[in-house]
Amino acid sequence: MVGVRQFDEDDVIATALDVFWRKGLHDATMQDLAAATGVQRGSLYNAYGDKEAIFLRAFDQYAAQFLESAGNALAHRDTTTALRNFFDMIIVNMTDGSPARGCLTTRTALDAGISSAAVRQRVQDVLGRLEQLIGETLGATPGGRRAADAYRLARVIVTFTRGLAVMERAGYSRKQLKESGATFVDAVVGA
Amino acid sequence: MVGVRQFDEDDVIATALDVFWRKGLHDATMQDLAAATGVQRGSLYNAYGDKEAIFLRAFDQYAAQFLESAGNALAHRDTTTALRNFFDMIIVNMTDGSPARGCLTTRTALDAGISSAAVRQRVQDVLGRLEQLIGETLGATPGGRRAADAYRLARVIVTFTRGLAVMERAGYSRKQLKESGATFVDAVVGA
DNA sequence: GTTATTCTTGACACTATCGTCAAGATTGAC
DNA sequence: GTCAATCTTGACGATAGTGTCAAGAATAAC
């Protein structure tokens, strides 16, 4: 290696994630990324190819961290506690920052101008793995549900979390989201 | 009146609604609207001012029709039946067309590049009125819930419908959405 | 210290979109 | 048929974004 890269790639991706999280893939421009990272547009093109490539790296990092947090939150013997933790985590994740950043996965799923198969696939992967995690949690309950029921319910829970992300964008406060989350958990699992 | 308008305003708004529904406020361009309606860009600017004004008209029409459909679907004595009808309506609404158009309200709520207070307000209005409709339905059940419970649950139901809209965008089929809807209704109300 | 390689930089060409405007076309009212 | 108001049309300037490229800067290896 000669003529060495002037910036730390991990830093750039982490900063890019923040930009994409706030603006969305479509609305974040290369100029935004250049300004936020302090790396010139040309260098970014040279290093990564194009905006989508940067997004994919950032999203992968986000997804890994997100799924790990979800897994941790769900790691409780008591299903109700596990789900409460999980919802707390989800809601904090989307209401964090000022102004709040919302949920990147949901924003990306709704981003109109995305035809990229790679991006769609990532979104589906995150949701699928989340479903899996929750399904395992529900099925593993001592004297728990039948597997089919657990996974059907897991999908309902994932769907509800997506709904929370939309409500956050619509202007509902963290407190309101938490109340809905609690009501949901009581209604669905507590019963 | 002299120099009379060459197009039918209702037709234009209806066509514009279709364009916005498919592309979103941000991604639909005046050129798209001009091409779809057959009315030149300049004429649209002359008649409506700008894109947002057209969107607001189209969205109002959409919201009125949507809330009426919701009200009809919910108009059943039996709460469970009412909710089933409601979810059928919602899911058909978002999976209709090919390719499916998704949910306009949800898309608009997530649209990143929207700073317009007017637009945000419309989204909140639709969700608020929907909550109201569902709350009334739940509260009106013979021997029904306490009002506070009904409205808290109504918000959970609205949230879940938003989740369905996201899942549709993520690639879930009408059939899968209906299954989740049914599971949700059973879990939340059937219990 | 020289070299060869890689990165950085700023300018460039291209495309898309917005909103505006003057000139022309249209038509109801008289 | 003429007039006057309104609509339509196509062109314009401005802005913003994309991706590319040649020239220059930096540095690891020798």
The 10s digit of each residue's pLDDT in A76-97 is 989 999 999 999 999 999 999 9
Q: How many CA atoms lie within 13 A of A31 on its CB side?
A: 1
Cβ atoms of A89 and A70 closer than 8 Å = yes
DSSP string across B4-53:
---S-HHHHHHHHHHHHHHHHHHH--HHHHHHHHT--HHHHHHHHSSHHH
> Cβ B153–A183 below 8 Å, yes or no?
yes
Q: Using CA atoms, how far apart are residues A111 and A25, in angstroms rounded to an integer?
A: 8
> Does residue A171 surpass a pLDDT of 70?
yes
What is the 8-class DSSP label of residue B102?
-
Q: Distance from residue A6 (CA) to nucleotide C5 (C1'), in Å?
A: 15
Q: Using CA atoms, how far apart are residues B90 and B106, in angstroms rounded to an integer?
A: 12
What pLDDT was estimated at residue A112? 73
Chain B residue at shortest CA distance from A154: B180
What pLDDT was estimated at residue B189? 78
Q: How many CA atoms lie within 13 A of B149 on its CB side?
A: 11
Structure tokens at A2: 């000669």
Residuewise pLDDT in 10s, chain B (191 residues): 555 666 778 889 999 999 999 999 999 999 999 999 999 999 999 999 999 999 999 999 999 999 999 999 999 989 999 999 999 999 999 999 999 999 999 999 998 777 789 999 999 999 999 999 999 999 876 566 788 889 999 999 999 999 999 999 999 999 999 999 999 999 987 65
**Which nucleotide is the nearest neighbour of B26, by CA and C1'?**
C17
What pLDDT was estimated at residue A189? 78
Which residues of chain A make contact with B159, given a CB cutoff of 8 A? 160, 163-164, 166-167, 180, 184
**Which nucleotide is the nearest neighbour of B5, by CA and C1'?**
D7
Domains of chain B and CATH, by start: 59-190 (1.10.357.10)
User: pTM higher than 0.85 for the full model?
Assistant: yes
Q: Which residue's entry shows tokens 């089919």? A: A148
**N residues, chain B:** 191
